[in-house]
């Protein structure tokens, strides 16, 4: 797995918790596959928090671009606070 700064790890965890941010967005920005995100979350979070997160995201359509409905564009890799977040590779458009 890549070595990340604490800021990057915090951002990956934040993106993984966001309902509208698919794993593909994390892969695009940080070059981490879904399994690597899961491993990072397991390593960086308390056991109870990790279990809660896994239960929450398993089968969640919005976390996988291919399973999303038409109402959510698969090309939209940003959260509602995207303009407030700095150091992202993703363009900050509204």
pTM over 0.85: no
pLDDT of 91: 46
7-36: pLDDT as tens digits: 999 999 999 988 888 889 999 999 999 999
pLDDT of 56: 85
The full 3-state SS of the chain, as one line of letters, equals CCCCCHHHHHHHHHHHHCCCCCHHHHHHHHCCCHHHHHHHHHHHCCHHHHHHHHHHHCCCHHHCHHHCCCCCCCCCCCCCCHHHCCCCCCCCCC
Are 62 and 20 in contact by the 8 Å Cβ rule? The answer is: yes
Mean model confidence pLDDT for the chain: 76
- Give 69's pLDDT tier (boundaries 50, 70, 90): low
pLDDT of 42: 94
């Amino acid at each position: 797995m890549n070595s990340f700064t604490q800021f990057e790890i915090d951002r990956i965890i934040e993106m993984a918790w966001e309902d509208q941010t698919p794993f593909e967005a994390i892969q695009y920005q940080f070059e981490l596959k879904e399994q690597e995100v899961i491993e990072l979350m397991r390593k960086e979070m308390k056991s109870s928090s990790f279990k809660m997160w896994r239960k929450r995201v398993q089968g969640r359509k919005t976390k996988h671009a291919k399973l999303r409905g038409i109402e959510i564009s698969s090309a939209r890799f940003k959260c509602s606070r995207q303009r407030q977040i700095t150091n992202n590779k993703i363009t900050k458009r509204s």
